[in-house]
Structure formats: C-alpha cells, structure tokens
Structure 1
Amino acid sequence: MSQIDWIKNTIFSHSMDEIYIRKVLSGDVESYRYFIKTYQDMAFSVALSIVKQEHLAEDVVQDAFIKCYQSLSSFKGKSKFSTWFYRIVVHIAFNSIRYKKLTLIDFDLTDHDQAYDESILDEIIDNERREMINDALAILSPKESVALRLFYLEEQSMEEIQEIMGWTLANTKVILHRARKNMQQVLSQLIKKSEYHG
C-alpha cells in the first residue's frame, strides 16, 4: 500500500468513525455493529498479545466493546477513535491478568514432513512463519508483545502507542527496543527448536 493510499484509508476510516459515533449517540443502536466489524480483529489481536489465551482474549474484546458502547459519549475526538478504543482493550486486558493472575502457556510448533508441490510448500512456510511469530509474541511479556503488535502489525505510530498504553514516549521507545531484542532471541530459539525437530 502506497503512502497516499494509507493516508486516504486513514482519513476515510476516521471520518466513517465520526459518522457512526454520531449515529449511535443519536439512538441508532444498530450502527454500533460498524465498530464491531471494523475493530473486532484488531482488538482480539491486541488482547491476545496481553492475556495469551484465546478464550480470555475473546472475553476481553467483548468487555471492551461493552465498555466502549457505555462510554461512547465521553469520546471527545482528541485522538482517533481507534486509539481511544484500543486503550480500553489494553486496560481491560491488563486488569484481566491482574485479577486472574494468569500464567503463560508454552506450546510446541507443529512439523510438516510431507512432500507438497511448490505453491503449497510456500503457503506452509508462510503459515509456519506466521505461527512462529505468534508463538514468539506469546512468549514475550504482555507489554513487549502488545508494543510489537501495535507498531509492526497494526502500524500504529509511537505517539499512538504511547496514548493507547499510557506510557511516556521515552518508555515506549525503550519497551519497543527491548521487545525487538527479545523477539529476536525468542525467534532464534524457536528456529533452532524447529530445525532440531525437523
């Protein structure tokens, strides 16, 4: 996606958010589906990077959408809606960890030993890379995992991450730096593990 396309999409998305916020606040409850459809996947991704378990991430997302709906009238538009909403998701996810005192899950990578044609093999390799990255994100601390996910996968700016997470800009940079370094180490270990079992 070119920078111009990205800017157009961002402006379009921002203006659509404003339209639907006005609709919901004026009593059109059905219009809230727009926010669920637009932000559900990203919210799940952010929640999962913090709580590390899919069923808990689903609960976090559901709670975040409820909280967002209840608090929509307090959204002042000082930041993008997505930034405001992801801050709700992050807050609920970290509260979930605190209250449930969750432990991280270790899981094994699956190996593929069958012979496939080249296109299927490429697809498997891409899926394994994606799976390995998700495995690595699951191993990192919740702060590091969500920082990487927001910055690289969701293309949030440093300032947006700072606002979503409630960190200082300096702290955001330090956490991202540490997260990159730890991600590199974890991926290196996972690659060695997959080569050993492969």
Structure 2
Amino acid sequence: MDQVYIDKVLAGDPYAFKYFLTTYKHMAYSVAHSIVKQEHLAEEVVQDAFMRCYQSLATFKKQSKFSTWFYRIVVNCAFSTARRLKPEPVEFSAEEHDVAWDENAFDKLLKKEQEQLIQEALLMIPANEALALRLYYLEELSIQELCDITGWTDSNTKVILFRARKHLYGTLRRLMKEEYYGT
C-alpha cells in the first residue's frame, strides 16, 4: 500500500502524502518521545522527520519497508535534537490525571496509573533502551527491523533489549517502592 502512495507523491499528487501522515504519526511521535523525552520536542521531531521524508522520498530505494526507512529518519532526527539540548525537568499536571467516578473508575484509574508509571520509567532509562523497548514490544517490530531502523547490529540490539528490560524492571521496582512507601 505504501508504494502506491509513494508513486502518487512522486507523480505530484498534493494529497497523497496525507496517507503517510495519518498512518505513521502516532508511531513516529512515540519513537521521538522515547528519545527526546519531552512532548513539544517530540512534536517538532515528528514534523522535521515528515519534512525530511517528503523531501527525500525520491531517494527511497525499496531495500527495506517504507516504515523501516521512515522510522530511521525519525530516530536520526530525534537523536540529533537530543544531542543539541539539555534535559529539562518533567512537569506534572493534576488536571490530566482527573478521572470522573463511575463503576469502572477504579479500573480506569489503575490502568492509567500503570501506563503513567511505565511511561515515567521509560523516561528514566537510557534513550536507546527506551527506543528499543517501544519498537520491539509496543510496535512489535522484529529484531531485524529494529537493526534496520537504529543501525545497530543483531547482537547489539539483543544486548540493548536485555539491558533495557533489566533497567525498566529496576526502575519500575524503585518507582513502585517510592509510591508505596512514600520515600
């Protein structure tokens, strides 16, 4: 399906690129956010990545899937942005966490807290490890696709995933302990 829209964009169809925006924007944001760790920066990275994608579409050689090629652009843009900036503290907004009470409110709250805890933990581990976990587990990419996107070797990717799981587990334990004991 991607190739059809690539051909349309290259043929000059001004609306064809919208397909790529709607198909890949969420994953691109997730990847960018796991690296730059700030919402506004992740949004800028995604915009930059889509611009680079559009400008370089003619150079896409079809040696890999379009998604792999595009995510590689996102990763490069995100790491480039991360290198230029110093980390800033994460802000907490109580309004974002306000949940109306109903029969399932407790379940919704518990799920939201778990998701926030995981997101917080992903922000605390090294960016390359957070990226590997997001791509492998959340996007269900293969090891080979991860290698194509990141430029890592097969064995390096497996080591990074192993370390990432270990760091995520330790970070989650620490966060849950702090939450439970209030330390």
CA deviation vs aligned residue, 1:162-181 (integer Å, no higher than 9, x gap): 01000000100000000000
Q: Report whether the alignment pairs 1:103 with 2:97.
A: no
RMSD: 2.1
1:172 aligns with: 157
- Separation in 2, partners of 1:190, 1:107: 17
Percent identity between matched residues is 53
Q: Report whether the alignment pairs 1:70 with 2:20.
A: no
Q: Report whether the alignment pairs 1:147 with 2:132.
A: yes
CA deviation vs aligned residue, 1:25-78 (integer Å, no higher than 9, x gap): 100021101100110010000000000011110110000000000000111111
- Separation in 2, partners of 1:150, 1:173: 13
In the comparison of the two structures, how many residue pairs are matched? Answer: 180
User: TM (normalized to structure 1)?
Assistant: 0.85
Q: CA deviation at 1:108?
A: 6.5
2:172 aligns with: 187
CA deviation vs aligned residue, 1:116-139 (integer Å, no higher than 9, x gap): 554110011111111111001111
Q: Tell me, which stretches of 5 or more residues in structure 1 are unaligned? A: 1-15
Q: CA deviation at 1:107?
A: 5.9
- Structure 1 residues 1-198: aligned runs within 5 Å: 16-100=1-85, 102-103=86-87, 105=89, 116-197=101-182
Q: Tell me, which stretches of 5 or more residues in structure 2 are unaligned? A: none
User: TM (normalized to structure 2)?
Assistant: 0.92
1:104–1:139: 8 Å Cα contact kept in structure 2? no
